[in-house]
Amino acid sequence: MRIAFENMKYHRSKNILTGIAIVLTTLLLFLVPTVGVDMILAQYEMTNENYPTWHACFSDVDQQSVHEISLHHDIKAWGVYSDEIASISHLPDRRTTVGMYYIDENAAELNKVMIIAGKLPEKENEIVISKEVMRMLHIDGQVGDTITLPYQMMTENGLDYRQEKDFVISGLFDDTFPTSVFPTMYEVFVSDAFLQEVNADGHYYFLFQVGDKENATLEEIKGRINHIAERFHILEENYSYNQNYLFANYVDPAIAATIAVIMMIIMIAGAVTIYSIYYVSMSQRIQEFGRLRAIGASKGQLKRIVLWEGMLVALIAAPMGLLVGTVLTKPVLYFFAHSTGQKSDMASMIELLYQIIREGKITVFHWWIYGLALLVTFFTVYISLIKPMRIAGGVSVIEALRFTGNRTSQRKRKGRENIGIWDLSMNHLSGNRRKSMVTILSMSLTGVLIMVVSTVLSCTSPDEMTEESFLGEYRLMNIISEGDKEHPEWSWSEIVKNNPLDDRLKEQIAAMDGVVSVDAFSHVDIDILSVEKEILTDEEISDIVAEGNNGEDICGIPESYAKEIEKGIIEGSATYEDLKSGENVILDKLFFVWNPELDISVGSTLKVAVHDGDRTYMKKLNVIAISDYRSALHNWNCLIMAKQGADSLCENNINEMFTINAAEKYNKELDDKLKQMLVDVDFMYGVDVRSRQSEYDINKSGLTLIHNGSYVFFGILSVICIMNLVNTMLNSVYIRKKEFGMLQAIGMTDRQLQIMLVEEGLFYTLGTLFVTIGVGSALGYLLYVVAKEEYILGIRSYSYPVQMVCIIVAVLTLIQIFLALVLGKSVKKESLIDRIRFSE
């Protein structure tokens, strides 16, 4: 312990380098999970601020049951609101509704009814209303004002005759709910007293949260909700989950895994670097250990000296890393928030995130991450010391005394006749082959990692990503969500019955200023029942049909894209004409990614169930080709037909998407007009209106985030690995101090010494570059192929990371030359004679 401490001081330069490596390792080990966890927490916070926070809702619950259910032990928070009591009349258009409800304080809180002034109603004639509703009714009021509202009571037989009543505004609430795209349903809230007066035996909606949600998974929570529902005999159609909220609060195990993998990479890079620093310095200390052995130190003691020395350095360095990490966390979080760009749709979300962090709405620092980072750091230091410890323990006395700086087993070596500076450099390097290799390999490890990731990153471009997923300049698309119990009308089979994307709309759009053409794409839900001779029994088929749409989709592509369809075929052959009949399909490669178990090839015949609204019928389809299209073309529906063919399968209007080709790349006016037009069109479903520009912005900000994150991460990682180069070169100078003195005594000039050092360093640089660029390029290409196959980040074409290679070459070369110069200077600083006299 004492010796270890003295050693630590003595081998200062090495320990400073190890220290820096440890500080940086700890920093990364701390920063990565902290930023990761904080981002997740911020996202939760964002959700919690905006989404109602109830977990589930039971409907049609009477007062008695409300009381009983609320006593259940697993219910943490609960509140009730009434069935719709009445509907406000005199609204500007039919599709907008304003319902009148009673809501209690808890339910208001759980449902995020944001009272911005006043309070919930108590008296029979009090009401809470929103500015938006008042605007629609052309009234203007403040808290305390009396307003007259026309409404129709809700009866068992529908809405009753209109009546009017004077209400006193007890509070105002904000109903601009950020998640609803086109709000058409509004609410006003009245008091319990009013409810009692009009409807004594009212039924309620019962909103609740189950017990602590912290460490529960989505499934667990649902299970507990089901349990409660069962216990109180709540029918399945009478309860629903708050999907958005539950999902947003659910910790995706993939995120934890990603963070773990990144931490592993840091650990490995850190361990390799520390190991290599120790390894390289070890030979210099063999003599020292030999002497200690000679005066009676045991193997174990030598090992402990090395271990303690490393641990002492870690003891100082790790807390420093945490300190730096603590200081850097917020700037890094802001940096991430900022780097996503301000232009995009995400900007407001990022702004919110920024605010959440700034206002301290989440705990930014977590003690367990400090603990984890420390633990992992010490573990990293420990594993990197195992080998050096063994070397120290294995030093024999005689070896140490004979040791002269480089271990060679050869006795003789055929010499060169002439010997110059170059030979001296090479001689040193080849004499220290293992050390050189360890240095080069450990530096290359990081280098290869950087190369691989930057290859993939260089293959991504917002332009290409957008090109991959977007056709035309604007796009209208039906938002389909299958299996939403709250909104069965959002399923495709319902949408087609009243599809907003009809010919009238298409013509209307085509007539707009700046619009060149409009293309319609159709969508058919099908289930693949059998492939060729593998015949299913009728029973199996009816099972599949009964299960509803869980299968594949056909995409009907308009004729404008006939060329692209034909060009993208990779197997078999098909013309656009072939696809018009509704008998033939092209399968996209994507199909096999999703259905690896199906044995389908060109020539196969598929027996499918076609869903057309409520109707389902059987049909045979011939697979005539296999294709590799960009996702924009088929919109992830991987059976492809001509639009005409797809349309022939259905009686309903199956337009899923309109793509609009415009004269200008982006025109704000047109964008707004399109959005406005959709609001004006009578529809009750969601249609997503998007411009290529906004898609591009989203892609760009997403990619920028990934790029910046990666580069910051790799920046720090490379500094860790450069510690290696510094150590190796420092070490090679340090142990040859006397040798250099000697060489200079017999006439080597300072310039020659400098050249020699540069040459040696250049060797490390070239070696590292060779491995990094060679192996990195190869692996990078491999990863590109995988990414392309797996449709990751919209990668379609290969692009070599020229920029990164230049940066790596430049940085490494510069650092190395700088190092050589600094080292040369530092050698010069000590007088020649001191160096010659220097021994040990």
Taking CB under 8 A as the rule, does residue 829 contact another protein?
no
Taking CB under 8 A as the rule, does residue 745 contact another protein?
yes
Taking CB under 8 A as the rule, does residue 830 contact another protein?
no
SS3 call for 753: helix
Q: Smallest distance from the beta carbon of 396 to another protein, in angstroms? A: 16
Q: Can you tell me which of 417, 534, 539, 682 binds another protein, judged by CB under 8 A?
A: 417
For another protein, which is the closer residue by CB, 736 or 788?
A: 736
Q: How far apart are alpha carbons 404 and 389 in whole angstroms?
A: 21
Q: Smallest distance from the beta carbon of 827 to another protein, in angstroms? A: 12
Beta bridge partners, 525, equal 553, 611
Q: Smallest distance from the beta carbon of 286 to another protein, in angstroms? A: 14
Taking CB under 8 A as the rule, does residue 831 contact another protein?
yes
Q: Smallest distance from the beta carbon of 839 to another protein, in angstroms? A: 8
Q: How far apart are alpha carbons 768 and 92 in whole angstroms?
A: 72
Closest of 187, 189, 200 to residue 102, by C-alpha: 189
Q: Can you tell me which of 415, 511, 538, 840 binds another protein, judged by CB under 8 A?
A: 415
Q: Smallest distance from the beta carbon of 830 to another protein, in angstroms? A: 12
Taking CB under 8 A as the rule, does residue 410 contact another protein?
yes
Q: Can you tell me which of 489, 571, 739, 759 binds another protein, judged by CB under 8 A?
A: 739
Stretch of 177-185, 295-303, 557-565, 745-753 contacting another protein, by CB under 8 A: 745-753
Q: Degrees (nearest 5) of the Cα angle 386, 391, 396?
A: 150
Stretch of 222-230, 389-397, 620-628, 832-840 contacting another protein, by CB under 8 A: 832-840
Taking CB under 8 A as the rule, does residue 839 contact another protein?
yes
- Per-residue binding string, another protein, 425-464, x by CB under 8 A, is --xx--x---------------------------------
Any idea of the CA torsion for 448, 454, 459, 460, to the nearest 10 degrees? 150
Q: Which of residues 751-780 bind another protein (CB under 8 A)?
A: 751-752
Closest of 34, 544, 604, 593 to residue 326, by C-alpha: 34
Count of CB atoms within 10 A of residue 342's CB? 12
Q: How far apart are alpha carbons 486 and 103 in whole angstroms?
A: 20
- Per-residue binding string, another protein, 379-408, x by CB under 8 A, is -----------------------x-xxx-x
Any idea of the CA torsion for 490, 495, 498, 499, to the nearest 10 degrees? 120
Taking CB under 8 A as the rule, does residue 826 contact another protein?
no
| Residues 310, 385 contacting (CB under 8 angstroms) | yes
For another protein, which is the closer residue by CB, 291 or 361?
A: 291
Q: Smallest distance from the beta carbon of 761 to another protein, in angstroms? A: 17
Torsion over CA: 158, 163, 164, 167 (sign) = negative
Q: Can you tell me which of 134, 737, 738, 800 binds another protein, judged by CB under 8 A?
A: 738
Taking CB under 8 A as the rule, does residue 423 contact another protein?
yes
For another protein, which is the closer residue by CB, 224 or 738?
A: 738
Q: Smallest distance from the beta carbon of 734 to another protein, in angstroms? A: 15
Q: How far apart are alpha carbons 353 and 362 in whole angstroms?
A: 10
For another protein, which is the closer residue by CB, 414 or 668?
A: 414
| Residues 203, 64 contacting (CB under 8 angstroms) | no
- Distance of CA 436 to CAs 118, 493, 789, Å? 75, 68, 39
Q: Which amino acid is at 135?
A: R
Q: How many residues bind another protein (CB under 8 A)?
A: 41
Torsion over CA: 473, 478, 481, 482 (sign) = negative
Q: Smallest distance from the beta carbon of 340 to another protein, in angstroms? A: 55
Q: Which of residues 649-688 bind another protein (CB under 8 A)?
A: none
For another protein, which is the closer residue by CB, 142 or 410?
A: 410
Q: Which tokens sit at 606?
A: 């598929």
Stretch of 48-56, 236-244, 307-315, 744-752 contacting another protein, by CB under 8 A: 744-752
Q: Which amino acid is at 713?
A: F
SS3 call for 770: helix
Taking CB under 8 A as the rule, does residue 749 contact another protein?
yes
Which are the contacts of 396, defined by CB distance < 8 A and separation ≥ 6? 290, 293
Torsion over CA: 396, 400, 403, 406 (sign) = positive
Q: Degrees (nearest 5) of the Cα angle 283, 286, 288?
A: 130
For another protein, which is the closer residue by CB, 358 or 433?
A: 433
Q: Smallest distance from the beta carbon of 434 to another protein, in angstroms? A: 14
Which are the contacts of 444, defined by CB distance < 8 A and separation ≥ 6? 767, 768, 771, 772, 775
User: What's 613's DSSP letter?
Assistant: T
Q: Which of residues 69-128 bind another protein (CB under 8 A)?
A: none
Taking CB under 8 A as the rule, does residue 153 contact another protein?
no
Interface with another protein by CB under 8 A: which residues?
Answer: 402, 404-406, 408, 410-421, 423-424, 427-428, 431, 738-739, 741-752, 831-833, 836, 839
